[in-house]
Amino acid sequence: MIDDEKIIEMFFERSEQGIRELDIKYGKACHNLSYHIVGSRQYAEECVNDAYLGAWNAIPPARPNPLLSYLLKIVRNISLKIYWRKEAAKRSSHYTIALEEIEACIADQKNIEEEIEVRELACIIESFLDTLTIENRVIFMRRYWFSDSYKDIAEFVGLSEKNISVRLTRIREKMKQYLIEREVFV
């Protein structure tokens, strides 16, 4: 498999082979992330294609490192836009369930924006994640960033679905307390 630097060089050379190599290397991860958010293979395909176009337009001048994180961020942002459009039409996906689980830990969006800037909140959440074990951090991120199902997470880390459910409940409670202590949760 071709390395990231070579793919980026192909983008700099404006070679369409770079997009093909990007898809070969990271297409499955991109499609899975998008599908878990939008809940439709067709929408996921469109989101991933739009993300590839976004990467094509950004590279050059950007030289992302690591490439996968950069690409997944683009996929996630595009997928979230589609998700919110679909949600406005009262459709649902795995992402709705993940959002419902975590929203109890975070105050209303308007209150957060009044009390603290989004970047500060992100720093606080990052510092919270640093308090978790690596395994619990992976479980949290797989659920709330990648929107993986309990079953997928259980298979990924080698635990039972029930164990994942219990751990996520405890992590959410711990996060809620962490945010309260920092006066983020009102």
What are the pLDDT digits (tens) for 107-122?
555 554 454 466 777 7
Kindly give, in sequence order, each residue whose CB lies less than 8 Å from that of residue 120, ignoring residues fewer than 6 positions away.
none
- In 3D space, the residue among 63, 54, 57, 55 whose CA is nearest the CA of residue 5 turns out to be 63
> What global pTM score does this model have?
0.64
Domain with CATH 1.10.1740 in the chain: 4-88
Give the per-residue SS3 of the chain: CCCHHHHHHHHHCCCCHHHHHHHHHHHHHHHHHHHHHHCCHHHHHHHHHHHHHHHHHHCCCCCCCCHHHHHHHHHHHHHHHHHHHHHHCCCCCHHHHHHHHHHCCCCCHHHHHHHCCHHHHHHHHHHHHHHCCHHHHHHHHHHHCCCCCHHHHHHHHCCCHHHHHHHHHHHHHHHHHHHHHCCCCC
- pLDDT, residue 116, reads 46
Q: Mean pLDDT, to the nearest integer, of 135-142?
A: 93
pLDDT digits (tens, 9 = 90+) for 67-92: 999 999 999 999 988 888 777 655 45
CATH code 3.30.930 for 4-88: no
CB 131 within 8 A of CB 82: no
- Looking up tokens 């190599």 gives 21
The per-residue pLDDT for 186 is 45
Q: Which CATH class is domain 95-181?
A: mainly alpha
Comparing 17-26, 52-61, 66-75, 113-122, the range with the smallest average pLDDT is 113-122
CA distances from 183 to 72, 95, 111, 116, 117 (A): 31, 27, 11, 10, 13
